[in-house]
Structure 1
């Protein structure tokens, strides 16, 4: 057993130690005194995410032998610490003087951009590394990185289309619902978002909350709807009352009508998404089914975003107030796209490209003459 053995996480592209306990024991026993031993300690500390220790070891190794390889190892530590401007500058310097290590420099510069959610730049470096590599293991590692970055780029690009298409159906549907409704509930927009789930039975309370996680008083809204006779609400679930069901059916009918006018020739969506909204049914028409698929993908991404900011210890309000150029925000957005990329990963890169192209053909307004 080699305690330094590791594997590459296909989603983060970070190395993960195969024997973390044994590696930690080995690291604690070391007393490095030369370039090689400091380099080995730095690698072990980074794999174990003892990043301050890894930085110290990398600096000592670099001072003893200022090689490109040592600079790359130090830049890798800076990357994992989230010190991206420093890491980017170090990788760029290494690329200018990499020599025989040029493929490694491109590979690791690409991974640094990958951690920042700069998928196009990551892909540029990965493709350059691939053209330089011939060893099967190294080729496979770069091909894994290319596929991961392409899936994340697909998630980010698709998100733009989802944010364009789904709200457009809601905006066009609102006035039609209001014009046709006879018994109007409070918080009609909230019910409209839940309509395709509520018509089939109870909805888990957590799902109902998550669909409106940026509405600070969502529980109050549920309570008001329950007190007015539109929902029954328990700590575990919300259920539409008989009074509410006609409104929900009307909302679904209008959503289906609007979707059909927008997309008279719906496109196929060749993926399944693991999200409660994947069970939603707006209507039997192909356009209504497409609307359900697009909403499920959009909410899947919203959940990925929430997972990313909550992992950073933030609340929904703190996330909304977070400036765009902070290291924390960069990590959150990159993590969001990595998580959101999961439904797209089983697709070939050609299929991902075709999906994006097809989404861009979909209208966000009615194709019917006025």
Structure 2
């Protein structure tokens, strides 16, 4: 299977991934078998990773790291995402730092996760060419703060994300953040 086909399979997961309100809006997959099959295909690519150009290597490590995180295999997720970050530059680096922060959060390393989200926020705000990921950094930082029992700080980050997403005009991103705001207000009694 070539990378183009594998990227298309990743798109299939969009319909299967949901945010579990019983676990602070962590990403879960409605069909673990499909997710595991896609991971196996990525693992096959890892066996011949040196045959791929740098951009494709970053994609493979970043994607499989993200998929490992969703399955709860945080050790492998962190390892792959740290490597993706080390290979990445600019926008891809920011995306992989956010993914790494999520993997650290899922691994219970909330303080390190917050540092990664702050790093991503700082990188986005220091270079206006990379602000397209700023809403994601705020959204994931908010989720981390929520897990740490800090709903007011979480809500502030969600509202930052929401205002950026409203400017973007992407209905699915806006809806995702609106759900996070609603959940946080209910959870925190705000």
Residue-by-residue CA offset, 1:94-150 (whole Å, 9 max, x unaligned): 111122211111101101101111111100000011111121100100000001111
Residue-by-residue CA offset, 1:132-180 (whole Å, 9 max, x unaligned): 11211001000000011111111xxxxxxxxxxxxxxxxxxxxxxxxxx
Counterpart of 1:183 in structure 2 is: none
Q: Tell me, in whole angstroms, the C-alpha distance in 2 between the residues paired with 1:3 and 1:122.
A: 27
CA shift at 1:23, angstroms? 1.3
**Preserved contact between residue 72 and residue 91 of structure 1 (Cα < 8 Å):** yes
2:27 maps to which of 7, 15, 36: 15
Counterpart of 2:172 in structure 1 is: 137
CA shift at 1:85, angstroms? 1.3
Q: Which has more helix, going by share of residues?
A: 2
Q: Tell me, in whole angstroms, the C-alpha distance in 1 between the residues paired with 2:67 and 2:30.
A: 12
Counterpart of 1:41 in structure 2 is: 64
**Preserved contact between residue 114 and residue 122 of structure 1 (Cα < 8 Å):** yes
The structure whose RCO (Cα within 8 Å, separation 6+) is larger is 1
Q: Tell me, in whole angstroms, the C-alpha distance in 2 between the residues paired with 1:89 and 1:61.
A: 17
Counterpart of 2:181 in structure 1 is: 146
Counterpart of 1:128 in structure 2 is: 160
Q: Tell me, in whole angstroms, the C-alpha distance in 1 between the residues paired with 2:83 and 2:150.
A: 31
* Aligned counterparts, 1:67-82, within 5 A: 67-82=93-108
1:27 equivalenced with 2:39 (yes/no): yes
* Aligned counterparts, 1:310-325, within 5 A: none
CA shift at 1:69, angstroms? 0.8
The secondary structure found in structure 2 opposite 1:15 is: strand
CA shift at 1:10, angstroms? 2.9
Q: Tell me, in whole angstroms, the C-alpha distance in 2 between the residues paired with 1:122 and 1:55.
A: 23
* Aligned counterparts, 1:171-320, within 5 A: none
**Preserved contact between residue 10 and residue 144 of structure 1 (Cα < 8 Å):** no
The secondary structure found in structure 1 opposite 2:149 is: coil
1:94 equivalenced with 2:120 (yes/no): yes
Residue-by-residue CA offset, 1:13-72 (whole Å, 9 max, x unaligned): 111113211211221342332000111101110111111111111011111114111111
Q: Tell me, in whole angstroms, the C-alpha distance in 1 between the residues paired with 2:116 and 2:63.
A: 20
Q: Tell me, in whole angstroms, the C-alpha distance in 1 between the residues paired with 2:21 and 2:110.
A: 21
Residue-by-residue CA offset, 1:245-287 (whole Å, 9 max, x unaligned): xxxxxxxxxxxxxxxxxxxxxxxxxxxxxxxxxxxxxxxxxxx
1:107 equivalenced with 2:133 (yes/no): no
Q: Tell me, in whole angstroms, the C-alpha distance in 2 between the residues paired with 1:120 and 1:3.
A: 32
Q: Structure 2-normalised TM-score?
A: 0.77
Q: Tell me, in whole angstroms, the C-alpha distance in 2 between the residues paired with 1:50 and 1:3.
A: 18
Structure of greater Rg: 1
1:119 equivalenced with 2:151 (yes/no): yes
CA shift at 1:3, angstroms? 4.2
RMSD: 1.5
**Preserved contact between residue 91 and residue 109 of structure 1 (Cα < 8 Å):** yes
Q: Structure 1-normalised TM-score?
A: 0.40
